[in-house]
Amino acid sequence: MLEELKKATWFKGRRGPVVLVIMDGVGYGKYEEGDAVRSGLTPTLNGFHATCPNTPLKAHGTAVGLPSDEDMGNSEVGHNAIGCGRVFAQGAKLVNHSIESGQMFTGQTWLDLVANCVDQKSTMHFLGLFSDGNVHSHIDHLKAMIERAKAEGVAKVRVHVLLDGRDVGETSALEYIDPFEEFLAGLNGPDFDARIASGGGRMYITMDRYQANWEMVKRGWATHVQGEGRQFASAHEAIETLRKETGAIDQDLGAFVIGENGQPVGRVEDGDSVVFFNFRGDRAIEITAAFEEDELPAFDRGRRPAVVYAGMMEYDGDLHVPKRYLVTPPAIDRTIGEYICAADLYSLAISETQKYGHVTYFFNGNKSGYIDEDRETYIEIPSDIVPFEQRPWMKGAEITDEVVEAIGSGEYDFIRLNYPNGDMVGHTGVYAAAQVAVETVDICLSRLKKAVDAAGGVMVISADHGNADDMYEHEKKTGAVKVENGKKKVKTAHSLNPVPCIIYDPEYQGEYAKELVSGLGISSLAATCLNLLGYEAPEDYDPSVLQPVK
């Protein structure tokens, strides 16, 4: 049972709603060159900074539960932290501990995977994002599992690589492929055979999310499971050839199959074991469904091999997806959404498809569905299925239309929304498009401002992590932009930069100091929003940015 929230004596709330705006991927850049947020035309955001209480918040590393402060934040852990008001150890950190302690390899799931391969003399397949970006996966986890599989008697391993170029350098695939091939060669021998079997760009195959584009999953299923597609002698050859033919960066490269004598070297067969080694859940749900669900209306799977399937983690705690998993995720409880429902307040969560699950599933502590359907409204605006740099405005206007109406309706006490533009367009590496993305969000903020003014509400403007604020690779010592082949080296990954926390309170009456508490992380947004709703935050929540004026 949740404890009852105490009413704040120093702040009674406002007559209008509290509106939490998450500008996904919009941070405070460290370098002027390459900062599409700073170079964009953002008069509304600039005006807020000039006139409103504001402070930077940490949004990466240990501030959001990741192993170290060298780890970039991401939307999953960011929305977890914002929604639950505290910091939980997150995916990468949990997997690291599980491997280092040996817990992963003594768990029943791992024992089942290995026993299946040993007993049936079958193949163990590993499928996942192939990099050290540490947002969805880490290649070191893959290596540790392959080494352990060999030690425990598995004779044949096949690896299906999803090329990154999004959380790491946009054309860095061979920096992972070539050393990995050497790693496998060092393990291979008379009793062990490990090879890369298939692959393709993460934004072309397999890693769709929120059911935005099932065709990606269909292509991945055909590639990894059926072994269908254009064949190459090696992953190195495939990547070099596809780059020359298409000019695509890693995340957009087409699918490929490694073959010998016209046959795929590693399609998935009856009796095999399959591990999806991503620890992050949003882009793991659909391929998991393809392996586990008896009925899958999204596409015709054709031959569906009978396998022992497991995910790195439980990707959905409510639906218990997947059925088997290697590492138990954090048990996130007592979220702000639960407290708001228990206080008999009404809330709205809204974004477009690309981030809808972040303001619902992740915000609610990795739980699907409503907390209280009578008190909550969730709205998903369908995203366009086009490269984001082609329409950098995305669905900002449509999201804003709904929120403006909701603010004016008087039906909601708390509204949370996510503008995906700075993140999704930032990931493309196209600087001009990223500027437009940020400018789109600024236009949307100007519309929200008018609605908040009329309703007498409060707007909290922040972000889950940075991205568009750091679009070029920089030299660590000098800060100069890296140059490669005469061109500035594009960065498509998230930044390590702090993000804004701005309080726009048009009916401010001096209840709290205009100087906000500094040095906090985005987990403090939950306590801040509860304060603005007129409540004291739970004692174990991370502190609010607001300082009461006694």
pLDDT digits (tens), the chain, 550 positions = 788 999 999 999 999 999 999 999 999 999 999 999 999 999 999 999 999 999 999 999 999 988 888 888 889 899 999 999 999 988 888 999 999 999 999 999 999 999 999 999 999 999 999 999 998 999 999 999 999 999 999 999 999 999 999 899 999 999 999 999 999 999 999 999 999 999 999 999 999 988 889 999 999 999 999 999 999 999 999 999 999 999 999 999 999 999 999 999 999 999 999 999 999 888 999 999 999 999 999 999 999 999 999 999 988 766 788 999 999 888 899 999 999 999 999 999 999 999 999 999 999 998 889 999 999 999 999 999 999 999 999 999 999 999 999 999 999 999 999 999 999 999 999 999 999 999 999 999 999 999 999 999 999 999 999 999 999 999 988 999 999 889 999 998 899 999 999 999 999 999 999 999 999 999 999 999 999 999 999 999 999 999 999 7
- Number of CB atoms found within 10 A of residue 343's CB: 18
Q: Does domain 18-89+331-532 have CATH number 3.40.720.10?
A: yes
- Number of CB atoms found within 10 A of residue 371's CB: 18
Of 68, 75, 462, 544, which is the active-site residue? 75
Where do you find CATH 3.40.1450.10 in the chain? 92-327
**Cis peptide, bond prior to residue 297, ω within 30 of zero:** no
Question: Is 409 marked active-site?
Answer: no
| Strand-pair category, 193-201 with 256-260 | antiparallel
The answer, as to whether pTM is greater than 0.85, is: no
| H or E stretch covering 19 | strand 18-23
Where do you find CATH 3.40.720.10 in the chain? 18-89+331-532
Q: Following CA atoms 139, 473, 240, 217 in sequence, which dihedral angle do they give, to the nearest 10 degrees?
A: 60
Compute the distance between CA of residue 184 and CA of residue 179 in angstroms, rounded to an integer: 9
Quote the tokens at residue 447: 């519309």
Q: What is the DSSP letter of 324?
A: S
**Amino acid (one-letter) located at 542:** D
CATH number of 92-327: 3.40.1450.10
3-state secondary structure of 439: helix
